[in-house]
Amino acid sequence: MKTINDSRNRQKTSWGSLLLVLVFLAIVFYLDQNIKPTNKMFMLLTVLQKGSVYALAAVSMNLLNGYTGLFSLGHAGFMLIGAYTYAIFTIPSSARDTVYQYFDAAIRFSFPETFSNVMGPAGTALGVLVAVILAGLMAAFFAYLIGLPVLRLKSDYLAIATLGFAEIIRAVFQWQKLGPITNGSNLLKSFARTSKFKLEVGDTKLVLSTFVPVLIATVSIIIIVKLVNSTYGRAFKSIRDDEVAAEAMGINLARHKMISFTVSSFFAGVSGAMMAMVLSIAQASNFKSAMTYEILLMVVLGGIGSISGSVIGSFLFVAASEWWLRGLDSGTFLGINAPGVFRNGFRLVVFSIIIMIVVLFFRKGIMGEKEISDLFRDRKKKAKGAAK
């Protein structure tokens, strides 16, 4: 009896969540059509775009750090691989020589272009999708190679080794000798980017600049949620809680750690690709370890071990640092005008103090290990308890 109830409840929650997600996507679509770049509220779209990039990055990091207990600091490196893969394979041939201005571009192939030649506009979308997936696969492939030696290492050694790998990857991508592929240390641009994502239906032009990244992030995060709730996700959690017990219960540590690591890196790669399409540039020097730290802090802010926490944490982080707290940098904040104090950099100071407070006093972050759906369930439970 209990089990039937259990599975029915599970299904009910998932249908409810799905509905919420659809409503959210519809709102984003609506906003995309109605907020023009010159509008003051366009910051909202910027936050949604960047927020969804970081949300996916944070959730994928959480899969590794929060769910599998592998403290890895190599995220920026995998995002870099994703960003470059995506960028290189979506630069149209007409722009290639301008972009690779100091090199003779070696890869002269663009997915959106090739596919649209065959299939028309739908091909462009497909090309972008293929490039995004390829970005993830590339990151996952590198993660596999890196994982073979380093996943055996324990906690902080793993952290420092993965951090080191991210630095190595960055150096390799900046190497002058790889210039024909990576454009050396110079930036890549002119590839398929969100500002160009538009759909023409008859006479009306539908803007998809925010919708596309939000959609990719949503789908990816749903997949991660599915994975976490599957038997593999439970195995990851058991490794986090007690590695020795997990191994004794027949869970192959090396294999499961590798799965978690590659999947996490796959989505890090996807988020890197999204980062490129949102920023409309890709450059190795942006993917520093500071980026990994920021993502880690988002995860902490939201609560290690909570996917909704990571999403909330990253949107809060992005919104606060890009939008709400901007006044702290430019003289006037909350109506207080104090250019002496509220000058450049103050925002980040306030921000890092908030983070330190969370780290020290609210160690569980916003969500702890709970998900949003748990909160609803708890409320129901409480209501039931009260009725009794």
Partner 1 sequence: MRKDKPCVLKVEDVTMQFGGVVAVNNFSMEEYEGEIVAIIGPNGAGKTTAFNVITGVYAPTNGRVSFNGERVIENYPRGKMKKAYLGQNAGKYTEHLEPTPDKLTALGMARTFQNIRLWKSMTVFENVLIAKHLKRTSNVFSATFGANRVEEQMQRDEADALIETVGLADVRDELATSLPYGKQRRLEIARALATEPKLLLLDEPAAGMNPQETVELTRFIGEIRDQFHVSILLIEHHMDLVMDISERIYVLDFGSMIASGTPAEIQQNEKVIDAYLGVTDDA
Partner 2 sequence: MKKILSVALILCLVLALAPMAFADNPVVKIGVFEPQSGDNGAGGKQEVLGMQYANKLTPTVEIGGTTYDVQLVYADNASSNDKAPTAAQDLISNGVSLVLGSYGSGVSIAASDTFANAGVPAIGVTCTNPQVTADCEVYFRICFLDPFQGTVLANFAKNELGATKAYCLAKLGDDYSGGLCNFFIDAFGKENCVYEQFPEGTSDFSTYITNAQNQGCDVFFSPVSTEAAAQIIAKADTQALGMPILAGDTWDSNVILNAAKGTDVKICVTTFYQEGADAEFDAGIKEWIRSDATALANNGGNDELAAVTVMGYDAYYVALEALKAAGSVDPEDVLEAIPSVEYVGVTGNIAFDDIGDALRDSAFVKSCNTETGVWDFVAVASVD
Partner 3 sequence: MAKTILPYVISGISVGGQYALIAIGYTMVYGILRLINFAHGDVFMVAGLMMVYMAASMPLYIAIPLMIILTVFLGFMIERVAYRPLRTAPRMSVMISAIGVSYLIQNLALYITGGLNKNYPAIPWISDRVTVFGMETSRVTIITPFLTIVLVVLLVLLINHTKIGMAMRAVSLNFETSQLMGIRINNVISATFIIGTFLAAVGSMLFFTNYPGVVPTSGAMPGLKAFVAAVFGGIGSIPGAVIGAFIIGIAESLIKGLDTILIVHGTITEQIGFATFSDAFTFVLLIIVLVFKPTGLFGEKTTDKV
Residue 188: phi, psi to the nearest 5? -100, 140
Q: How many residues bind partner 3 (CB under 8 A)?
A: 48
Of 222, 223, 327, 370, the residue at the interface with partner 2 (CB under 8 A) is 327
Residues contacting residue 167 through CB under 8 Å, at least 6 positions apart: 77, 289
| Partner from partner 1, partner 3, partner 2, none contacting 351, C-beta within 5 to 8 A by type | partner 3
Which tokens hold the place of 298? 């988002």
H or E stretch covering 206:
strand 204-207
Q: Is 155 in the site for partner 1 (CB under 8 A)?
A: no
Q: Three-state DSSP class for 55?
A: helix
> By C-beta, is 187 or 253 nearer to partner 1?
253
Of 43, 178, 187, 253, the residue at the interface with partner 1 (CB under 8 A) is 253
Which tokens hold the place of 355? 């983070």
Q: Is 206 in the site for partner 3 (CB under 8 A)?
A: no
The Cα 125–Cα 131 span in angstroms is 10
The Cα 170–Cα 28 span in angstroms is 34
Least distance CB 64 / partner 2 (angstroms):
23
Q: Is 230 in the site for partner 1 (CB under 8 A)?
A: yes
The Cα 65–Cα 73 span in angstroms is 9
| Partner from partner 1, partner 2, partner 3, none contacting 250, C-beta within 5 to 8 A by type | partner 1
Of 284, 298, 299, 304, the residue at the interface with partner 2 (CB under 8 A) is 284
Q: Is 223 in the site for partner 1 (CB under 8 A)?
A: yes
Strands 336-337 and 332-333: antiparallel
- Among the listed residues 188, 198, 52, the one whose alpha carbon sits nearest the alpha carbon of residue 124: 198
| Partner from partner 1, partner 2, partner 3, none contacting 32, C-beta within 5 to 8 A by type | none
The Cα 263–Cα 72 span in angstroms is 13
Q: Is 50 in the site for partner 3 (CB under 8 A)?
A: no
> By C-beta, is 211 or 236 nearer to partner 1?
236
CA distances to 2, 50, 194, 326, 328 from 321, rounded to whole Å, are 47, 11, 21, 7, 10
Q: Is 281 in the site for partner 2 (CB under 8 A)?
A: yes
Q: Is 227 in the site for partner 1 (CB under 8 A)?
A: yes
Of 1, 2, 5, 38, the residue at the interface with partner 2 (CB under 8 A) is 38
Helices 289-302 and 307-322 sit at what angle, rounded to 10 degrees? 120
Please list the residues that pair with 282 across neighbouring strands.
188
Q: Is 133 in the site for partner 1 (CB under 8 A)?
A: no
Spell out, one character per residue from 81 to 110, where the chain touches partner 2: x when CB under 8 A holds, - when not.
--------------x--xx-xx--------
The number of residues making up the chain comes to 388
In the chain, DSSP finds a helix count (H) and a strand count (E) of 16, 6
Q: Which residues bind partner 1 (CB under 8 A)?
A: 2-3, 6-7, 223, 226-227, 230-232, 234-235, 237-238, 240-242, 244-254, 259, 263, 305, 369
Q: Which residues bind partner 3 (CB under 8 A)?
A: 65, 69, 71, 149-150, 152-153, 155-157, 159-161, 163-165, 167-168, 170-172, 174-177, 244, 289-290, 293-294, 296-297, 300, 304, 343-346, 348-349, 351-353, 355-356, 359-360, 363
